[in-house]
Amino acid sequence: MITIQKYVRAKSLEEAYQLNQSKRNRIVGGMLWMRLGRGSVATAIDLCDLGLDTIEETEEQFSIGAMVSLRQLELHEGLNAYTGGAVKNAVKDIVGVQFRNMATVGGSIWGRFGFSDVLTVFLAMDAYVELYKGGVIPLEQFAARKKDTDILVRLIVKKTPGAFVYTALRNQRTDFPVIACAVSQLGGEYRAVIGARPAKAMVIRDEQGLLAQGITPDSAEAFAGFVAERTPTDSNVRASAAYRSHLIRVLTARATTELGGI
Amino acid sequence: MEIKLTLNDKAITGHIEADTVLLDFLRAQGCYSVKRGCDTSNCGLCTVLLDGKPILSCSMLAARADGHSVQTLEGLQEEAAEFVGFLADQGADQCGFCNPGFVMNTIALLRENPDPTDGEIRAFLAGNLCRCSGYDGQLRGIRSYLNSRKG
């Protein structure tokens, strides 16, 4: 477990940013994953007083503060109406209600964890992150970056017309996923996002136009095969690489047919 | 550092280290219903209510509770008494170690959803692990309590 020498509730993002420039200091989100690490933190920087715990919905977008809990995502009617329940499906089996009341969107996205349901589902959307110094950048671009000392302020999800399906397979209900899979249709573009490979989620677009003529059982199978071939997998205690590759094909086909209303 | 919070409806002041977790602070206040189980945010034994919402006290810094309201089972005896007898009647407890966390999360469930389905009960309590009884007793107990309320 980590040890913490000093705790500071930042009074501004600038104060948090300045404190975060020291490698010995760290921003705490839900602190659920961080706490299991080792080492010593000189100053734990808490953003809890900065008003980043709300989801603001406009006609164009959802603006999700970094300190919004996964439980808030799960219960937000507007977000789940727009995503067809995909966001709720992505977080509902993350440990338990108590855990989801603590785990934050900012911590989940910032961590770019290999097991993340949260990163997987939002990569299927027209999503962006707002960084304190780095401005607004696409989530996909952020996910590919290495961690630095900037601060993730909020996640922005544009209400681009689209449809979303999320599914995952777990060995046990509240465990990490063995494979996480989100499939979407956004402005005519189809994409699949595969998480828990067990590496960081990756986006596979329908570059070959396999779904261009519409979703049928055959085209869904073809797309699923394409996604499985393009997605590197690995083995860990939960599953082998071969099993994961098989699951990618199965879950992508299922999610795609559901997306097509079949 | 000093923190001020409301614990079971009483304003208190405490002195903590920066990395003191809420569980240890609460037990130091005499709230022994709050149990340390897995200590990895997975079992639900340490469940308390923070501003009315169930959270895992093993994984929350006590410093973060500064200015907030915390409730443990010691402060919710009356609300718990309404249904714990139904759990006992179904033999839901064996060793009983998971019971306080289970009861706290059930209180949160029934406040949020007074008439849950069996599926909703299972989903809400999925983060409370019991290694004795297999969960059917708890489900039967809560169902029995809900049925009793309907007369």
User: Nearest-CA distance from A145 to chain B in Å?
Assistant: 28
Which pLDDT score, from 0 to 100, does residue A1 have? Answer: 83
Q: How far apart are CA A54 and CA A58, in angstroms?
A: 13
Q: How far apart are CA A145 and CA A88, in angstroms?
A: 27
pLDDT band at residue B93 under the 50/70/90 scheme:
confident
- 3-state class (DSSP) for residue A11: coil
B window 18-57, beta carbon within 8 A of A: 18-19, 40-42, 44, 47, 50, 53-56
Q: Do B56 and A46 touch (CB under 8 A)?
A: no
Chain B residues close to A29, C-beta within 8 Å: none
Q: Do A98 and B123 touch (CB under 8 A)?
A: no
pLDDT band at residue B60 under the 50/70/90 scheme:
very high
User: Nearest-CA distance from B54 to chain A in Å?
Assistant: 5
> Whole-prediction pTM value?
0.96
Closest CA to A200 of A147, A144, A122: A144
CB atoms within 10 A of CB A260: 19
What domains lie within chain B, and their CATH numbers? 2-74 (3.10.20.30), 76-150 (1.10.150.120)
Spatial neighbors of B43 by CB under 8 A, at least 6 apart, are B37, B98, B101, B127, B128, B129
> Could you give phi then psi for residue B115, rounded to 5 degrees?
-135, 65
Give the largest CA-CA distance in chain A. Answer: 60
Q: How far apart are CA A193 and CA A73, in angstroms?
A: 19
Q: How far apart are CA B59 and CA B64, in angstroms?
A: 11
Q: How far apart are CA A70 and CA B75, in angstroms?
A: 27
DSSP H or E segment with residue A152: strand A152-158
pLDDT digit string, tens, across residues A178-229:
999 999 999 889 999 999 999 999 999 999 999 999 999 999 999 999 999 9
Q: How far apart are CA A125 and CA A139, in angstroms?
A: 9
pLDDT digit string, tens, across residues A70-108:
999 999 999 999 999 999 999 999 999 999 999 999 999
In this predicted structure, the answer to whether residue B134 has a pLDDT above a threshold of 90 is no
**What tokens appear for A185 in the block?**
């249709």
> Could you give phi then psi for residue B80, rounded to 5 degrees?
-70, -35
Q: How far apart are CA A228 and CA A251, in angstroms?
A: 10
In this predicted structure, the answer to whether residue A261 has a pLDDT above a threshold of 90 is yes
pLDDT digit string, tens, across residues A119-172:
999 999 999 999 999 999 999 999 999 999 999 999 999 999 999 999 999 999
Q: How far apart are CA B5 and CA B27, in angstroms?
A: 15
Strand partners of residue A128: A138, A156
**What tokens appear for A111 in the block?**
């961590």
* Cβ B140 vs Cβ B90: under 8 Å: yes
